[in-house]
A and B are shown apart, each in its own frame.
Chain A
Amino acid sequence: MIPIPYSLAEPALFLALLLLCLDLLLLSGEGTLTAFRLKTAFFAAMLGGLLVVTSYLLLTLGFVSDAFFLHEVYSYSSSSLPLAFKLGGPWISGNGSLLFIGLLLSLLYLGYRGFGRAEKSVYQYTTYRVLDVILIIFILVPLLQSPFSEVVPAPPDGIGMSPLLQTFWVLIHPPIIFFGYVLVFFAFALMLSALITGQREHLRTRWYTCSLLAAWLFLAIGIALGGYWSYVVLGWGGYWAWDPVETASLLPWLALTAYFHLSSPESGRLREIILMATFSLVLYATAVTRGGFSPSLHAFGASPLGYLFLGITLAFILFFLFLSWKHGLHLPSLNVDPSSVPSLSFTLAFVSLVALLGVCFIGVTLPVLGGLAGIPFSVDGEFFTTTCFPLTLVLAAAFIGCGSSLSRIQFAGLIVLTLTIGGICSLLRFPTSNTLADFGLPLLVVSGGIILARLGLSLRKKYFSFRLLGRTLIHFSLILILLGVLVSSAAESETMTVPVRAGSSADLFGTTVMVTDILVFPGEGQAYYPSHGFVGPEHAGLTVQAVVENEEIHVQRPLVMSYYPLYGMVSVPTVISSPVRDFYLSVHPSNTSQNTLMIALMGMEVSPGEVVLSAKVVPFIALIWTGVVIMGLGMTVILVGELVRKR
């Protein structure tokens, strides 16, 4: 067996750091860039990037080959962990995920540098230098909190991965979000280089536009996947908790969405500021996630990395302000044609998005400040829903005017009419019992209808553009998502809990659940128990074979409850979906099931005669997921259009 040189991983990262610093130095000093310097710089950067890739591959190998002397592998893996999760180990783990970001950035940089080798310009070299600085940060951080730290003495096995992480979603959600962040870094580097060199014409290139579009797409899909993962596994039907870490991840996406609502050529300066904000918010979200400044579902522990990222964010902002001052750049103005409804609508959309960004930023930052001041507190979801709801209605109203030929009076009249109808619906508590939902529904329905009607009209006139189709899909998807959020939250049922014996059935919300069998799986897998110093079974499981039947569905599904001594009791819900509602079902903990699993862990199969089932109905949640898919499709259409567009 060939020994794997894990001890070279950190030196490789350190050498990569030095090589990128060398590249940065060699590319500085615009007047004396000789061919030799350029060639040396090129090879230094390429080698530096390859060393980052090598270091990452070594970590992956560590997971795959069960190198439990590596703390990261010990903490997140065990010998019985399926290969797919071992391969994902680096980005699932805490410190490894930072190296993963470094990997993605390195690969993007290697590709960009390789493709751009023929181009020799001050702008190009400046972009390389900015990317060097960002990549240096994401090499330095894994060196400070190394994923290659060792456990002494080496344990015989790992403590395993939390069963809640062993899902398909963990294999795709983090990489997609992180790639979105990397694309933001790339676009920012292009923008900053244009600002440094004064060559703003580069902000109309395909690289720049496509990186922004792709960044938005990956961030949107990444955030949506996190919500879906929570919905199907973790949150008992909840997909968004307004947790500081979740909300912080929304901030750069909101900023980038606001960016795309600055359409006029005169808005260039404002676009630069928004992109600066987007980049800063990515770093800020990283600081909030990893700093543990305030208690969060996602991060309870404090880490100096939070302060480091806050400091880096501040440094970039100050540099941007310095460049702005140096180039005499004025404060931006918002160019609006008050006589044009489309122009007014764009402005309304931009303002509402910035306001949404402001609300979410306040909601995230106040607990951070509280945590820093030693007064930990949370901001309830109520704050976000109360404040964001009217702003999203403003956004939906803006969609009505976007691209329309309505006069200002007609536009204002339509908005007032739909809001009046909404007010009447609220008073009558129709069609839901939630007054906010009833108030917003008419506006959303009218907005969605107008969006589709406008697309139909364009297609009838045989006018087609990728941008028009994509924008229509995105706007329509947002209406669908908002409708889904309003209706599902307003009409969601309470949870019903009933005991059911094997061979009998129960009626839950008009759905019959027949328990045909209850199977017990004694100790499975393998994990190391550090407090006892031995390797033992990782978990025991209980599977309830159930037939679920109502007017719409007839399915047979297993309901699984497992007990992991190191991670607790886990009962993965089964979600049976139809277009109008989701039926949520899981095994509820009881004394009987708990005792069964404890005994099973010791190797004995004692079937409980009875289990307790929990059920809930979530109506029209499919609107949200359908909206997300359409949103992704819409941006993909725009991106494809940009890629194939002749310049």
Chain B
Amino acid sequence: MRIRPLYLVILVLAGGSIFLAYSALTPSINPYLSVSQVSGGTYAEREVQVLAILEDWSVGEEGSLMLRLSDGNATLNVTYRGVPPQGLTKGQDIVAIGIMHPPDSLDATRLLVKCPSKYE
């Protein structure tokens, strides 16, 4: 059976895209974890993504942010040394991504807060 070169090119492109997508997808999937789930040592020294409520925050040494997150059952102390996201408010949902240090502290490399457009 003769296969046209064009179909071959399209097949290669499609196959390559699927392979790329699959290989890029697996390490990119990050579960949202609660404070209770990350407390206790299961995720020690691993990168985690924690979705929680901001209980309080203050400015620490050398401009770092010290945050206290909670899910109602447990609390997590987060240290963040980057540029703070705008509009940090107590009681808001926040996502902290970083390395977990047991039992209850996180060195965050990213903080995400909700865009002020509230479509809910």
- A interface residues (Cβ-Cβ under 8 A, vs B): 75, 92-94, 97, 162-165, 170, 174, 233-234, 236, 289-290, 292, 295, 297-303, 336, 338, 344, 347, 351-352, 355, 358-359, 362, 366, 375-380, 382-383, 386-387, 390-391, 394, 495, 497, 564, 566-571, 586, 588-591, 594, 612, 614, 616
Shortest Cβ gap from A89 to chain B (Å): 12
Task: Say yes or no: B95 contacts A495, CB within 8 Å.
Answer: no
Known A-B contacts A383-B28, A387-B17, A591-B58; the reply to A569 vs B51 at CB < 8 A is no
Task: Say yes or no: B25 contacts A497, CB within 8 Å.
Answer: no
B1 at the interface (CB under 8 A from A): no
Residue of A nearest to B26 (CB): A383
Task: Say yes or no: A383 contacts B24, CB within 8 Å.
Answer: yes
Task: Say yes or no: B5 contacts A295, CB within 8 Å.
Answer: no
Shortest Cβ gap from A274 to chain B (Å): 17
Known A-B contacts A164-B87, A377-B31, A386-B24; the reply to A300 vs B93 at CB < 8 A is yes
A301 neighbours in B (Cβ, 8 Å): 118, 120
B24 neighbours in A (Cβ, 8 Å): 382-383, 386-387
Known A-B contacts A298-B114, A390-B20; the reply to A336 vs B6 at CB < 8 A is yes
Secondary structure at the A interface, as helix, strand, loop or mixed, is: mixed
B13 at the interface (CB under 8 A from A): yes
Shortest Cβ gap from B118 to chain A (Å): 5
A366 neighbours in B (Cβ, 8 Å): 25, 29
Task: Say yes or no: B65 contacts A387, CB within 8 Å.
Answer: no
- B interface residues (Cβ-Cβ under 8 A, vs A): 4-6, 10, 13-14, 16-17, 20-21, 24-25, 27-32, 49, 51, 58-59, 62-63, 65, 82-89, 92-93, 95, 112-120
Known A-B contacts A338-B4, A390-B20, A589-B63; the reply to A351 vs B32 at CB < 8 A is no
Task: Say yes or no: B86 contacts A570, CB within 8 Å.
Answer: yes
Residue of B nearest to A389 (CB): B20
Task: Say yes or no: B20 contacts A386, CB within 8 Å.
Answer: yes
Task: Say yes or no: A359 contacts B114, CB within 8 Å.
Answer: no
Complex partner residue of A355 from B14, B49, B83, CB under 8 angstroms: B14
Known A-B contacts A351-B10, A378-B49, A380-B28; the reply to A298 vs B117 at CB < 8 A is yes
Known A-B contacts A387-B21, A495-B82, A570-B86; the reply to A355 vs B13 at CB < 8 A is yes
CA separation between A93 and B43, bound complex, in Å?
Answer: 39
A351 neighbours in B (Cβ, 8 Å): 10, 13-14
CA separation between A376 and B119, bound complex, in Å?
Answer: 19
CA separation between A113 and B118, bound complex, in Å?
Answer: 34
